[in-house]
Amino acid sequence: MSRIGKLPITVPAGVTVDIKDDVITVKGPKGELKQKLNPQITVELADGEIKVSRPDDSRENRAQHGLYRALIHNMVVGVSEGFKKELEIVGVGYRATSQGQVLELALGYSHAIYIKMPPEVTVDAKTERNKNPLITLVSCDKQLLGQICAKIRSFRKPEPYKGKGVKFVGEVIRRKSGKTAAAK
């Protein structure tokens, strides 16, 4: 039995769960999320807990069991608490500004990069003196948030020599020594 799949999901107060025709809908104070379910996997809501079960121990059903439990758990946490990711821009002349739902990045290219955020994601860019610019993204959808962070990071990944680029706050970049270390 899947260790993650067999754990029950507790539904906090203020969150409503609706299961209909292989679609689960979770509503809460932060928003509403929907997920289509595999017909093989059964999801039951009983006395404030969601339980996910599978019909047999086939390889695909075992994989789907843990996957759908994790997806539903992320939905419940997202609509009740929300998710937050912070990106840091390291490099001389690299900037980030936000105007409403549009994020403008200056990452050393000949042009600025504009990214329009979906309505589920709120963006905030802060630039303080003598500190690296910080981009804060908040959403109830963990998948969408991760996808947007990966897209922003892909414009200028952190390089291993000076560490310049877009990185997550707290991310450790493995640094390489340059040519001078090889000559000795």
Residue-wise DSSP of the chain: --TTTTS-EE--TT-EEEEETTEEEEEETTEEEEEE--TTSEEEEETTEEEEE-SS--HHHHHHHHHHHHHHHHHHHHHHT-EEEEEEEESTT-EEEEETTEEEEE-SSSS-EEEEPPTT-EEEEE--TTS--EEEEEES-HHHHHHHHHHHHHTSPPPTTT--EEEETTPPPPP---HHHHH-
pLDDT value at position 181?
59
Predicted TM-score (pTM) of this structure: 0.87
In order of their start, the domains of the chain are 9-80 (3.90.930.12), 83-168 (3.90.930.12)
pLDDT value at position 6?
86
pLDDT 10s digit of each residue in the chain, 184 long? 568 888 999 999 999 999 998 899 999 999 999 999 999 999 999 888 999 999 998 999 988 999 999 999 999 999 999 999 999 999 998 999 999 999 999 999 999 999 999 999 999 999 999 899 999 999 999 999 999 999 999 999 999 999 899 999 998 989 988 887 555 5
pLDDT value at position 166?
94
pLDDT value at position 178?
82
pLDDT value at position 4?
85
Both tokens of 57, joined, read: 């121990």
Both tokens of 70, joined, read: 């994790």
Amino acid at 137: L
